[in-house]
Every structure is written in structure tokens, then in C-alpha cells.
Structure 1
Amino acid sequence: MTPLRVAIALCLIAPFVAMLWVGSYAKTDPVFIGIPFFYWYQMLWVLLSTALTMTAYQLWQRDQRGRKAAGGTDGGAAK
């Protein structure tokens, strides 16, 4: 597994880990503009997840272009 693919995996896994670790955000403080932490933390992750997914996609495209330029014809299949 290349470092680029590790970065892609981390971008895609981070939101799941953040949302499954409920103990880190199951609280009301700190309040942000009148919204309890529990809610604004989850809404923040909606935006972060979008950015991370876009980053993963761009990295994947770069990886595929590099493989194509190197003559790889496996289309990303595992070896």
C-alpha cells in the first residue's frame, strides 16, 4: 500500500472514527452561538467530511494518473 493510498484511507476513515467515538462529543458545553456542543460538533463534521471526501477523491485521481503514466493496467485492483 502506497503512502498516497494510506492518506486516502485516513481521509475516509476519520469521519467514521469521530462520529463513532460518542464519548468525545456527548456533552452540552461549550455552547457556540447558543447551540450545544453536541449539535455544532456534528454539523462541523458534515463540512469536514465533505472536505475530506473531496481530498480523498483528488488524491485517488492523482494516484490513478500516476499508475497510468507508469504503465499499470490493473485499474487499482489489489495484488
Structure 2
Amino acid sequence: MTTPPSDQRPVRSDRSPWNWLLLVPIVIPLITALYNADEPRLFGFPLFYWLQLAFIVLGVASTTIVYRMGKRRGGR
């Protein structure tokens, strides 16, 4: 015999509040006022170029935090 379907939905495991942190590396590069300048220069590179590298580091850091916190939460 089969079990009748339950009225409750299964609990989703992707509803972590840490997922909101993934919006940071998407929204921050869209603020063009941050890099609409030539100065300051870092090792001779204009602001635009080294800030793009900083955005990559920001994206990797936030993705790593969300992954680890989600993994920790799922392990409980």
C-alpha cells in the first residue's frame, strides 16, 4: 500500500540567511561612483583596474563564507 500524500511541504535546505551575502559581490560593482576616477594609483595601476581585482577577491570571500556556513548548517 502507498502512503497518502502529506499536506506539509518538505523542508528546503537552501533557505539559509547567509545566501543574502551573495548579493554583495553583485551589487557593489554596479555602483559606478566607486571607480569613476583615475586616482589613487596602486603600483602604477589606475583605480579602475585594481578595484576590479578587489571585486574578485570580494566575490571569492563572500562565496566561501556562504559555502562554509551553509555546510555547517546542513551538517547539524
Same-fold call, TM > 0.5?
A: yes
Task: Determine the structure 2 residue equivalent to 1:7.
Answer: 18
Compute the RMSD of aligned alpha carbons: 1.7
> Equivalent residues in 2 for 1:14-53 (5 A)?
14-53=24-63
**Residues 29 and 36 in structure 1, CA contact (< 8 A), matched pair in contact too:** yes
Give the secondary structure class of the aligned counterpart of 2:75: helix
What is the TM-score with the length of structure 2 in the denominator? 0.71
- Unaligned 5+ segments in structure 1 are 67-79
**Residues 29 and 37 in structure 1, CA contact (< 8 A), matched pair in contact too:** yes
Structure 1 segments of 4+ aligned residues over 6 angstroms from their partners: none
Task: Determine the structure 1 residue equivalent to 2:7.
Answer: none
TM-superposition CA deviations, 1:23-78 (whole Å, max 9, x none):
11121110000000011001111112111101110111112223xxxxxxxxxxxx
**Residues 8 and 59 in structure 1, CA contact (< 8 A), matched pair in contact too:** no
Count of paired positions: 62
What is the TM-score with the length of structure 1 in the denominator? 0.68
**Residues 41 and 47 in structure 2, CA contact (< 8 A), matched pair in contact too:** yes
Q: Measure the CA separation in 2 of the matches of 1:60 and 1:7.
A: 7
**Residues 18 and 70 in structure 2, CA contact (< 8 A), matched pair in contact too:** no
Going by fraction, where is helix more abundant, 1 or 2? 1
